[in-house]
């Protein structure tokens, strides 16, 4: 009898929750949970509701939402009004089992769920599909503050009622609704942020935030507003290699035995060499402003109208100084050492240059969303909701005053004998340059103009969506069918973007020399003490142990004044105009999706077991028109020893493409209360993620800087079908106390229509190649006959000396030169299914009334979509797949709360391809990362709370590599940051 009574009560509670949620449109009315009372009982007829706040209250609400939901759902709830558990929404989501995050500028920004990266996860705001950040599907969560957010829901299993697109998961951000709670509520906070990495900005930067809501006229009207403004100044220190070049055995130079150490055993038919080695210091200033205004009108209990407007703006300004070397290979290699995997851990390379760079970039991300929701409970049996929103997300890197683009200046010198790359010890590669002056240090008077480039690349994503949802509650038939949800929707998404590039301005390539335009006083010598000192081979141990800095504006002004078209010709004249090379190719992609769904809920008992079944299907039709303005190549010029430039026709070629497809997405959930405390779940369903936007755009795009070994062209495919996954989930959850539970879950995803990129070598009539042409071979033979090493620099010098270049040092192709071989790639759908499977473990426990508690979870993921570094062919692994674990321990009692969190993620593939990698498209991988955060809150009284937060207090660093860990790609250092603040609530 006890079990039966419990089940019926739970069923009634579930119905009450559902009915409560309908009064809020697409949000949930969260129930209040009472503490164990120590106060007197209320008078007869009174209702006392005690809301548990703080860490414990957040854990209870999240746990109860997980328990009561259909399918596999996890959630994070605000601890109290205006206080979310983490500094941004991405950082909060990583506490959920199966969720890992990627970071930018030391902050979480995008999520990976069960091994599926940002492009595979859908973000909704109050049930509305949100546009990706700029020309992309992925949503940057760091641009959205947590103020005004009540709950983050993560739906891991398929639901017919949800918009499609979340193959990994669907994240629903639920914001505050004023009519959810009667009366006036407000919370205001002020913080001071101290970032230990900061050098150039303010030592302490502000953050202010507030949430206010109120109801009027006996709760007929509701008004709510939330806002936040944050400023953060910090520094990123980094070492970087843009890519690794594969050299097959027959391409390796023939060197004397004493100049080669070959330890290859795992790979014997190829070797890998770094294209460059760079170091940089970036001083960053970031401002983020968010606001949401909500109006609600409830003239009768059964009807609610909601209008809301959400806006966010994030502006990031970056000034970077850098130094490093550039390498081209072939005959340039003088000496090398290879490890067992064929990776060069030491190389002495002639030719090319070393440089000192200055870069500037100011990028703004603006997002806006306006929505209208009409929610009407027609009767006990019928409920309808109409929702419309118009949203956009726009990214623009042209907000630097005076530039209107992102600019990079490269000064340096090619007056050197050789460069040495050494990664045999330490965790950061070292560099030695043997200059012609007989030292390892170039003098200021020898620093010359190499080139500058200016890039303007805005992108925008728009979504207009209309949804009509209905629910029929069964009171007419004596069957276990509780309700039927149904609906239709139309979603129109438009994405556009382009990249305008100035080309390489100011020479390039030290020919002619312009050392005289830069006075020695312009350059400031710095040592590397304190640089990357969190790494064993950083700081004062680094080589080179020095670098030069200079003023960005002065360097531009001097080059504009002296490197004019009268001096170097129109093709090479210095300019900051990102449109100097002509109008950019513009990409436009639209997606128009019409959908219809029906979803049913069945509740019944089998013996002593309460069973809930949800079954439904969603059908969608999508049309994908794409218009591309394509740049048509004319020829490829050799403009400097290591620089090649594609010349395009002035007139863009307009090309139109259209694709279409339809999908049927069934789903089936079973939830069983095995006992009063144990819940078992089984879910099966299909989900999709549409192809990445960059792959859908039509047209063939050629590289604007096709260096030797990197002559590439790429085409999109508007007919790409979406990734389609068949999902299985099985989980058990044990709720053994008010705020304590343990769970284990198994999942399997079989993904069809996996998108693979195939490449082929193609030649195009009229595009001739200077490389290996008659003049090139003549230069090589002449140099070798004279006993000179045939480096690219020496060959280019021969061209200039023998009249093969014009007066400005530009070499153009001849008709008798061979055709250029372009590595052209195009995506397509694979017929082979790929499988990802894993296990999720979680436990949450509070130790009675002691105030202590902890939470821990781990996710182990495996599948046949991993990257094989020993396979030298192009691969298409699942980006982001990794294991993860999170741990949280806290104490909360008598107004004091202390929390420490630990987040760990194993190494994973960030993407396929490297900026200067070879045509086999090697991987970019992120090394294992673990971060510790902590916070202390103290309630001075019932209204005022003071707090101290520490982020990355263990000073974790970031490191990336290519095929193997020895193929270093980047190391980054940020340092801890701390926040001291106060919050006032009433």
Instruction: Please give the angle made by the CA atoms of 123, 128 and 129, to the nearest 5 degrees.
Output: 45
The two tokens of residue 567 are 């001096």
Kindly report, residue by residue over 716-729, the tens digit of the pLDDT: 888 899 999 999 99
Tokens 């409830």 locate to 298
Per-residue pLDDT, averaged over 24-30, amounts to: 35
Quick one: pLDDT band at residue 833, thresholds 50, 70, 90? confident
User: CA–CA distance from 897 to each of 32, 91, 891 (Å)?
Assistant: 21, 19, 5
Between the two ends of the chain, the Cα-to-Cα distance in Å is 45
Helix H, strand E, coil C: the string for 178-230 is HHHCCCCEEEEEEEEEEECCCCCCCCEEEEEEEEEEEEECCCCEEEEEEEEEE
The mean of the pLDDT values for the chain is 88
Yes or no: say if 706 and 636 are a contact pair by the CB < 8 Å rule. Answer: yes
Give pLDDT, residue 82: 65
Q: Which secondary-structure segment (H or E) carries 20?
A: helix 2-22
CA atoms within 13 A on the CB side of 30: 31
The residues pairing with 286 across neighbouring beta strands, listed in sequence order, are 232, 316
138 pLDDT more than 50: yes
The two tokens of residue 668 are 């089936």
The residues pairing with 333 across neighbouring beta strands, listed in sequence order, are 349
Kindly report, residue by residue over 494-536, the tens digit of the pLDDT: 988 888 999 889 866 787 889 999 999 999 999 999 999 999 8
For residue 57, the 8-state DSSP code is H
Q: Which secondary-structure segment (H or E) carries 663?
A: strand 653-673
Kindly report, residue by residue over 278-287, the tens digit of the pLDDT: 999 999 999 9
Quick one: pLDDT band at residue 949, thresholds 50, 70, 90? very high
Number of other CB atoms surrounding residue 571 within 10 Å: 16
Give pLDDT, residue 76: 87
Rank 76-90, 273-287, 823-837 by mean pLDDT and report only the highest: 273-287
Higher pLDDT, 327 or 944: 944
Coil, strand, or helix at residue 41? coil
Yes or no: say if 173 and 698 are a contact pair by the CB < 8 Å rule. Answer: no
Number of other CB atoms surrounding residue 676 within 10 Å: 13
Quick one: pLDDT band at residue 330, thresholds 50, 70, 90? low
Rounded Cα–Cα distance for residues 360 and 556 (Å): 12
User: CA–CA distance from 953 to each of 454, 465, 931, 974 (Å)?
Assistant: 37, 43, 8, 11
The two tokens of residue 408 are 């990079």
29 pLDDT more than 70: no
Q: 250: exposed, middle or buried (C-beta count within 10 Å: 0-12, 13-18, 19+)?
A: exposed
Rounded Cα–Cα distance for residues 239 and 956 (Å): 15
Rank 100-104, 174-178, 619-623 by mean pLDDT and report only the highest: 619-623
Quick one: pLDDT band at residue 57, thresholds 50, 70, 90? confident
User: CA–CA distance from 554 to each of 448, 558, 573, 680, 956 (Å)?
Assistant: 14, 6, 17, 68, 36
Rounded Cα–Cα distance for residues 130 and 92 (Å): 19
Give pLDDT, residue 392: 94
Higher pLDDT, 825 or 635: 635
Quick one: pLDDT band at residue 13, thresholds 50, 70, 90? very low
Rounded Cα–Cα distance for residues 86 and 888 (Å): 12
571 pLDDT more than 90: no
The two tokens of residue 570 are 């129109």
The two tokens of residue 481 are 């069918």
Percent of the chain with pLDDT over 70: 94
The residues pairing with 232 across neighbouring beta strands, listed in sequence order, are 286
Per-residue pLDDT, averaged over 270-284, amounts to: 95
Quick one: pLDDT band at residue 44, thresholds 50, 70, 90? very low
Which sign, positive or negative, has the C-alpha torsion 277, 279, 285, 289? positive
Which of 117, 100, 101 lies closest to 109 in space, CA to CA? 101
For residue 820, the 8-state DSSP code is P
Kindly report, residue by residue over 575-589, the tens digit of the pLDDT: 999 999 888 878 888
State CA 683 to chain mean position distance: 29
14 pLDDT more than 50: no
Give pLDDT, residue 109: 82
Rounded Cα–Cα distance for residues 78 and 67 (Å): 18
Give pLDDT, residue 957: 95
Yes or no: say if 472 and 528 are a contact pair by the CB < 8 Å rule. Answer: no
Q: Which secondary-structure segment (H or E) carries 319?
A: strand 303-326
DSSP string covering 534-601 = TSTT-GGG-SS-EEEE--HHHHHHHHHHHS-HHHH-TTT-----TTTT-PPPEEEEEEEEEEEEEEEE
Number of other CB atoms surrounding residue 943 within 10 Å: 11
Number of other CB atoms surrounding residue 12 within 10 Å: 10
Kindly report, residue by residue over 347-393, the tens digit of the pLDDT: 999 988 999 999 999 999 999 999 999 999 999 999 999 999 999 99
47-51, 695-699, 775-779, range with the lowest pLDDT:
47-51
72-81, 239-248, 276-285, range with the lowest pLDDT:
72-81
Which of 75, 879, 126, 225 lies closest to 467 in space, CA to CA? 126
Yes or no: say if 99 and 75 are a contact pair by the CB < 8 Å rule. Answer: no
Give pLDDT, residue 844: 94
Rounded Cα–Cα distance for residues 110 and 93 (Å): 10
For residue 330, the 8-state DSSP code is S
Give the largest CA-CA distance in the chain: 108
Q: 254: exposed, middle or buried (C-beta count within 10 Å: 0-12, 13-18, 19+)?
A: exposed
Instruction: Please give the angle made by the CA atoms of 176, 182 and 187, to the nearest 5 degrees.
Output: 50
The two tokens of residue 264 are 């290859």
Coil, strand, or helix at residue 607? coil
Rounded Cα–Cα distance for residues 391 and 310 (Å): 9
Rank 178-182, 385-389, 878-882 by mean pLDDT and report only the highest: 385-389
192-196, 748-752, 787-791, range with the lowest pLDDT:
787-791
The two tokens of residue 942 are 């019932």
The two tokens of residue 268 are 């014997």
Instruction: Please give the angle made by the CA atoms of 950, 956 and 961, to the nearest 5 degrees.
Output: 150
Helix H, strand E, coil C: the string for 736-799 is EECCEEEEEEEEEEEEECCEEEEEEEECCCCCECCCCCHHHHHHHHHHHHCCCCCCHHHHHHHH
The residues pairing with 599 across neighbouring beta strands, listed in sequence order, are 485, 616
Give pLDDT, residue 821: 93
Yes or no: say if 451 and 410 are a contact pair by the CB < 8 Å rule. Answer: yes
Give pLDDT, residue 144: 78
Give pLDDT, residue 35: 33
105 pLDDT more than 90: no
87-101, 945-959, 972-986, range with the lowest pLDDT:
87-101
Rounded Cα–Cα distance for residues 801 and 817 (Å): 20
Rounded Cα–Cα distance for residues 251 and 787 (Å): 20
Rounded Cα–Cα distance for residues 133 and 138 (Å): 6
Helix H, strand E, coil C: the string for 851-873 is CEEEEEEEEEEEECCCCCCCCCC
Which sign, positive or negative, has the C-alpha torsion 327, 330, 335, 339? positive
- 252: Cβ–Cβ under 8 A, 6 or more apart, which residues? 271, 333
Tokens 């069945």 locate to 602
The residues pairing with 602 across neighbouring beta strands, listed in sequence order, are 481, 613
Give the pairing type, strands 121-125 and 169-175.
parallel
Rounded Cα–Cα distance for residues 52 and 67 (Å): 18
Rounded Cα–Cα distance for residues 274 and 328 (Å): 9
E-assigned strand segments in 476-551: 481-498, 500-501, 524-527, 546-549
Give pLDDT, residue 540: 86
CA atoms within 13 A on the CB side of 220: 4
Percent of the chain with pLDDT over 90: 65
Per-residue pLDDT, averaged over 878-893, amounts to: 91
Kindly report, residue by residue over 923-943, the tens digit of the pLDDT: 999 999 999 999 999 999 999
E-assigned strand segments in 25-157: 73-77, 99-104, 107-113, 121-125, 128-129, 149-155
Quick one: pLDDT band at residue 331, thresholds 50, 70, 90? low
Per-residue pLDDT, averaged over 421-433, amounts to: 94
Yes or no: say if 717 and 825 are a contact pair by the CB < 8 Å rule. Answer: no
750 pLDDT more than 70: yes
Give pLDDT, residue 52: 63
């Amino acid at each position: 009898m006890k079990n039966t009574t419990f089940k019926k009560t739970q069923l009634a509670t579930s119905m009450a929750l559902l009915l409560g949620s309908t009064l809020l449109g697409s949000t949930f009315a969260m129930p209040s949970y009472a503490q164990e009372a120590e106060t007197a009982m209320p008078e007869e007829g009174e209702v006392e509701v005690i809301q548990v706040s703080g860490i414990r209250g957040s854990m209870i609400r999240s746990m109860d939402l997980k328990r009561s939901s259909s399918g596999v759902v996890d959630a994070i709830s605000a601890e109290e009004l205006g206080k979310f558990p983490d500094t941004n929404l991405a950082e909060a989501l990583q506490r959920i089992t199966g969720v890992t995050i990627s970071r930018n500028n030391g902050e979480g920004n995008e999520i990976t769920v069960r091994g599926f990266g940002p492009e595979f996860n859908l973000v909704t705001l109050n049930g509305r599909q949100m546009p990706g950040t700029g020309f992309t599907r992925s949503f940057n969560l760091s641009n959205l503050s947590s103020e005004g957010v009540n709950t983050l829901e993560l739906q891991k299993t398929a639901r017919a009622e949800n918009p499609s697109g979340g193959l990994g998961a669907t994240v629903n951000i639920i914001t505050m609704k004023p009519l959810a709670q009667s009366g006036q509520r407000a919370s205001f906070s002020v913080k001071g942020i101290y970032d230990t990495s900061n050098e150039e900005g303010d030592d302490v930067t502000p953050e202010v935030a507030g949430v206010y809501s109120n109801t009027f006229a006996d709760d007929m009207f509701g008004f709510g507003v939330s806002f936040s403004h944050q400023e953060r100044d910090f520094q990123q220190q980094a070492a970087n290699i843009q890519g690794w070049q594969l050299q097959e055995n027959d391409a390796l130079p023939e060197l004397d035995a004493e100049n080669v150490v070959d330890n290859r055993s795992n790979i014997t038919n190829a070797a890998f060499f770094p294209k460059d080695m760079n170091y940089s210091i970036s001083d960053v200033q970031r401002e983020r402003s968010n606001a949401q205004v909500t109006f609600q009108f409830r003239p009768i209990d059964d009807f609610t109208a909601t209008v809301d407007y959400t806006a966010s703006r994030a502006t990031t300004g970056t000034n970077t100084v850098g130094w490093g070397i550039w390498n081209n290979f072939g005959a340039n290699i003088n000496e090398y050492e290879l490890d067992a995997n064929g990776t060069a851990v030491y190389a002495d390379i002639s030719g090319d240059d070393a440089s000192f760079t200055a870069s500037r970039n100011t990028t703004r991300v603006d997002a806006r969303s306006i929505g209208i929701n009409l929610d009407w409970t027609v009767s006990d049996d019928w409920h309808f909701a109409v929702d419309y929103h118009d949203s956009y997300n726009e990214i623009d890197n042209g907000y630097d005053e005076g530039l209107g683009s992102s600019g990079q200046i490269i000064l340096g010198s090619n007056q050197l004998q050789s460069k040495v790359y050494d990664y045999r010890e330490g965790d950061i590669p070292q560099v030695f340059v043997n200059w012609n002056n007989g030292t390892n240090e170039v003098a200021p008077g020898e620093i010359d103009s190499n080139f500058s480039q200016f890039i303007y690349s805005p992108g925008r994503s728009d979504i207009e969506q209309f949804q009509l949802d209905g629910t029929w509650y069964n009171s007419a038939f004596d069957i276990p069918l509780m309700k039927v949800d149904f609906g239709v929707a139309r979603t129109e998404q438009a994405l556009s973007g382009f990249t305008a590039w100035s080309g390489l301005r100011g020479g390039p390539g030290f020919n002619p020399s312009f050392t005289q335009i830069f006075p020695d006083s312009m350059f400031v010598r710095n040592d590397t003490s304190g640089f990357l000192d969190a790494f064993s081979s950083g700081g004062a141990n680094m080589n080179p142990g020095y670098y030069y800095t200079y003023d960005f504006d002065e360097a531009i002004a001097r080059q504009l004044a002296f490197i004019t078209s009268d001096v170097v010709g129109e093709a090479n004249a210095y300019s900051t105009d990102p449109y100097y090379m002509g109008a950019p190719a513009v990409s436009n992609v639209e997606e128009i999706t019409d959908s219809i769904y029906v979803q049913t809920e069945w509740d019944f008992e089998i013996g002593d077991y309460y069973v809930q079944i949800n079954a439904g299907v969603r059908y969608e039709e999508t049309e994908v028109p794409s218009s591309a303005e394509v740049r048509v190549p004319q020829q490829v010029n050799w403009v400097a020893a290591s620089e090649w430039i594609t010349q395009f026709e002035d007139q863009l070629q307009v090309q139109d493409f259209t694709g279409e497809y339809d999908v049927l997405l069934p789903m089936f959930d079973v939830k069983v209360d095995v006992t009063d405390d144990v819940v078992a779940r089984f879910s099966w369903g299909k989900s999709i993620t549409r192809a990445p936007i960059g792959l859908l755009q039509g047209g063939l795009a050629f590289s604007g800087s096709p260096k030797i070994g990197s002559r590439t062209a790429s085409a999109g495919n508007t007919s790409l079908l979406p990734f389609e996954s068949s999902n299985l989930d099985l989980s058990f959850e044990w709720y053994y106390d008010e705020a304590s539970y343990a769970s284990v879950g198994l999942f399997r995803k079989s993904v069809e229509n996996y998108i693979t990129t195939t490449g082929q070598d193609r030649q195009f009539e009229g595009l001739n190649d200077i490389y290996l042409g008659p003049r090139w071979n003549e230069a090589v033979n002449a140099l070798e006959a004279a006993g000179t090493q045939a480096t690219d620099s020496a060959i280019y010098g021969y061209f200039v000396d023998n009249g093969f270049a014009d007066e400005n040092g530009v070499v153009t192709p001849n008709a008798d030169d061979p055709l250029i071989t372009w590595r052209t790639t195009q995506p397509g759908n694979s017929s082979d299914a790929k499988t990802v499977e894993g296990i999720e473990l979680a436990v949450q426990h509070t130790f009675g009334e002691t105030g202590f508690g902890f939470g821990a979870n781990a996710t182990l993921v495996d599948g046949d979509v991993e990257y094989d570094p020993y396979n030298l062919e192009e691969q298409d692994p699942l980006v982001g797949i990794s294991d993860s674990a999170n741990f949280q321990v806290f104490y909360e009692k008598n107004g004091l709360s202390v929390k420490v969190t630990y987040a760990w993620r194993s190494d994973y593939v960030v993407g396929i391809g490297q900026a200067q990698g070879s045509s086999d498209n090697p991987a970019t991988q992120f090394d294992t990362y673990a971060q510790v955060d902590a916070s202390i809150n103290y309630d001075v009284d019932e209204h005022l709370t003071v707090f101290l937060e520490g982020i990355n207090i263990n000073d974790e660093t970031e490191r990336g590599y290519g095929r193997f860990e020895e193929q270093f790609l980047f190391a980054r250092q940020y340092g801890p940051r701390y926040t001291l603040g106060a919050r006032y609530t009433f």
